[in-house]
Amino acid sequence: MKQFNIQHTDKSLEPTIQQKIDHLNKPKGSLGRLEGLAMQICLIQETLSPSLNHPCHLLLGGDHGIEREGVSVSPREVTWQQMINFTRGGGGVNMFCRQHGFDLRIVDVGVDYDLTTFNGIIDRKIARGTRNFLYEPAMTTQQFDRAILTGCELVDECIAQGCQVLCIGEMGIANTSPSSIWMSIFGHIPLGECIGAGAGLDSPGVEHKRNVLVQALDHFNQTMPAADTETIIRYFGGFEMVTAIGAMLRGAERRLVVLVDGFIMTACAVAAIMLYPAAQDYMIFTHCGDESGHRRMLDIVGAKPLINLGLRLGEGTGALCAFPLIDSAVRMINEMNNFDTAHITKYF
């Protein structure tokens, strides 16, 4: 796997940043989480005047071998159908990217369909879906490495356009299944407590999904005892998920603000943090979704989400919805008068 040089943000800058925040013409601490966001973004960018130029949204598509076991209410063709829909501007992600000014990049890293004839889809296909991790690793070491590097390359392309904010979403039927297993392993949580309805399974469907994933995890533990983090990620992950991990790590390495979306992207963020703990300094966990266990997965890394709207669409839509709060935090520290310029007596 590619090695990353990810440094913790320089906390020695905190007193200077805090002084500027506290000197804005407002009661000390009165803008709550916005003040914490401003602090984090200033630390990421190492400046007292942060900016959010050219925000980019990577929408990564991939299919999963485990879908063949009936663990999702949606059939796998929905992945490619939605990818095509995105090119026509008809998805939730399209709407929110338009609303908040994000450069949307739709990327096929592993969809089980030929999408090369559709304008608007970037072709980085590694394979037509992963293998079935009920019986074998989802991807080879070479495929894993390629997915990580693809994520890095996509981020570098965004940065070349002036990107300072990276948002990542996914489209991949059955990707709550590997997410649940990563949650169980990395969070030391019983697997049954990590499994939810995904795109809308009924109670018998959730029970079937649980049985399949328990079998898959038991098989993994028997065949690969004491596996390291990279092996765990490779064995269960989807191409879109491992590409997202590569993008998150590269984003942290290049000091971008990295927005983390819902259940699947939080699983990817947890995996990235397990590999490189300092990467968390660059991540803003934007929301707590409605998928069972998302709150507990956020707790694994002590993340405090910005909003809770009961979302579970994926695609990065929750992160996009939360972006105005991040924008407000940056506007606060850049545009509010301080006590001196406002000619107001500082009363604390």
pLDDT band of residue 35 (cuts 50, 70, 90) is very high
Per residue in 154-177, pLDDT (tens digit) is 999 999 999 999 999 999 999 999
More confidently predicted of 340 and 310: 310
Q: Is 271 exposed, middle or buried (0-12, 13-18, 19+ CB in 10 A)?
A: buried
Domain extent listing, the chain:
56-332
pLDDT attached to residue 342: 67
Amino acid (one-letter) located at 85:
N
Please tell me which residue in 67, 170, 291, 315 is annotated as part of the active site.
315
Instruction: Assess whether 240 carries a catalytic annotation.
Output: no
Q: 252 near 282, Cβ under 8 Å?
A: yes
Mean pLDDT in residue range 115-140: 97
pLDDT band of residue 6 (cuts 50, 70, 90) is very high
Instruction: Please count the CA atoms within 13 angstroms of the CA of 220 that sit on its side-chain side.
Output: 24
Amino acid (one-letter) located at 339:
F
Lowest mean pLDDT among 177-186, 230-239, 304-313: 304-313
Given a cut of 90, whether residue 291 has pLDDT beyond it is no
pLDDT attached to residue 156: 98
More confidently predicted of 238 and 225: 238
pLDDT attached to residue 347: 66
Per residue in 60-91, pLDDT (tens digit) is 999 999 999 999 988 999 999 999 999 999 89
Given a cut of 90, whether residue 57 has pLDDT beyond it is yes
CB atoms within 10 A of CB 290: 17
Q: 260 near 311, Cβ under 8 Å?
A: no
Instruction: Please count the CA atoms within 13 angstroms of the CA of 70 that sit on its side-chain side.
Output: 7
Q: Shortest CA distance to 71 belongs to which of 155, 185, 176?
A: 176
CA distance 324 to 39: 16
| Two structure tokens written together for 196 | 């939810």
Given a cut of 70, whether residue 30 has pLDDT beyond it is yes
Given a cut of 90, whether residue 58 has pLDDT beyond it is yes
* CATH architecture, domain 56-332: 3-Layer(aba) Sandwich (3.40)
pLDDT attached to residue 313: 84
DSSP designation for 132: -
Mean pLDDT in residue range 8-36: 95
